[in-house]
Chains A and B, each alone.
Chain A
């Protein structure tokens, strides 16, 4: 959901300053700046990967505790 922007765009347009909306705006809208969009996309991947790694670590720890 970190990268989702379709629903936000349909509901509030560009009024909310979300990371996903910023990437979309730099990749497709009037503020066209592909390198900036690429950099923001890397930040998004890093945040998502960190979140997934933390979740995976937490799940493994919980599983070990149960044993």
Chain B
């Protein structure tokens, strides 16, 4: 009985607040206990109003940029640290796990503002700054997942076997290692994408007027039109759920690969 009550309390605490903007986003208006009418007008407003549409495009560009940047940095970093010895290598691996907890996004934002406000690195206020910021925020998460993928395969034996057959370093990467850790890379990329799509705090510090993302637009809409704000919130929830579903699928695939 107590378990059931706890379960209901948990659902009320977590699920109900998440459902509210989804229900509101499909309603014509909501003033009494129940919402009234059904409409897709507020979703249409995301795509048709230039400010919302541009914010959506900026968000997608930034998220894809952050994923690409992380792919170029986190994958080689995970490969190198997987090869590193048990001493400083282990400490570095642990550091990468603790980093996101130790440095909150607010601190990252302040640091970026201080680092990128003076020439020749005066990037603050540009879309490049937002991409860099999101890539930094997503790095520890992608790194952890890709590192875990490298740890599930016998990377040294596979590399040595490929090398004995005459494969160069790049051929070993292209045809042997990367395909083996691809589920981990895709899973990490999805997580970075989801984090970037919903990121508000650092973005509000480093973005200028030309780099208004969807969460920044949402913040403005909370004060202007709660119904469009609900549609944007619901859209961001859908992105998170879709990413989570794909990550679960890729995780299951990784486990199957490990088992075989």
Binding site for B on A (CB under 8 A): 2-6, 9-10, 20, 23-24, 27-28, 34, 37-38, 41, 44-45, 48-49, 52
In B84-124, which residues have CB < 8 Å from any A CB? 98, 101-107, 109-111, 113-114, 117
Contact A5 B201 (CB under 8 A): yes
Say yes or no: A34-B114 contact (C-beta < 8 A), given A3-B104, A4-B104, A48-B102.
yes
Contact B98 A52 (CB under 8 A): yes
B102 interface neighbour in A4, A9, A27, A45, Cβ under 8 Å: A45
Note all chain B residues with C-beta closer than 8 A to A37. Answer: 110, 113
Say yes or no: A52-B110 contact (C-beta < 8 A), given A10-B219, A28-B205.
no
CB-CB nearest in chain B for A26? B110
B201 interface neighbour in A4, A38, A41, Cβ under 8 Å: A4
Bound CA–CA A37/B182 (angstroms):
40
Bound CA–CA A10/B204 (angstroms):
12
Bound CA–CA A51/B228 (angstroms):
39
Contact A45 B98 (CB under 8 A): no
Verify if B200 is at the interface (C-beta below 8 Å from A): yes
Contact A3 B106 (CB under 8 A): yes
Bound CA–CA A48/B200 (angstroms):
21
CB distance from A18 to the nearest CB of B (A): 10
**19 contacting pairs across A/B (C-beta < 8 A):** A3-B201, A5-B106, A6-B201, A10-B219, A10-B222, A20-B104, A23-B107, A24-B106, A28-B205, A34-B117, A38-B114, A41-B106, A41-B110, A41-B111, A45-B102, A45-B103, A49-B102, A52-B98, A52-B102
Note all chain A residues with C-beta closer than 8 A to B106. Answer: 3-5, 20, 23-24, 41, 44
Bound CA–CA A6/B205 (angstroms):
11
Note all chain B residues with C-beta closer than 8 A to A44. Answer: 104, 106-107
Contact A3 B107 (CB under 8 A): yes
CB-CB nearest in chain B for A32? B113
Contact B104 A2 (CB under 8 A): yes
Bound CA–CA A38/B111 (angstroms):
7
Binding site for A on B (CB under 8 A): 98, 101-107, 109-111, 113-114, 117, 200-201, 204-205, 219, 222
CB distance from A9 to the nearest CB of B (A): 8
A27-B113, A34-B110, A49-B102 given; name 5 further pairs at CB < 8 Å.
Answer: A20-B104, A23-B106, A24-B201, A24-B204, A37-B113
Q: Which of A10, A27, A49 has the most CB of B within 10 A?
A: A27
Which 7 residue pairs across A and B have the least CB separation, nearest first? A3-B104, A3-B106, A6-B200, A41-B110, A41-B107, A6-B201, A37-B110
CB-CB nearest in chain B for A34? B114
CB distance from B149 to the nearest CB of A (A): 26
CB-CB nearest in chain A for B109? A27
CB distance from B220 to the nearest CB of A (A): 11
Note all chain A residues with C-beta closer than 8 A to B105. Answer: 3-4
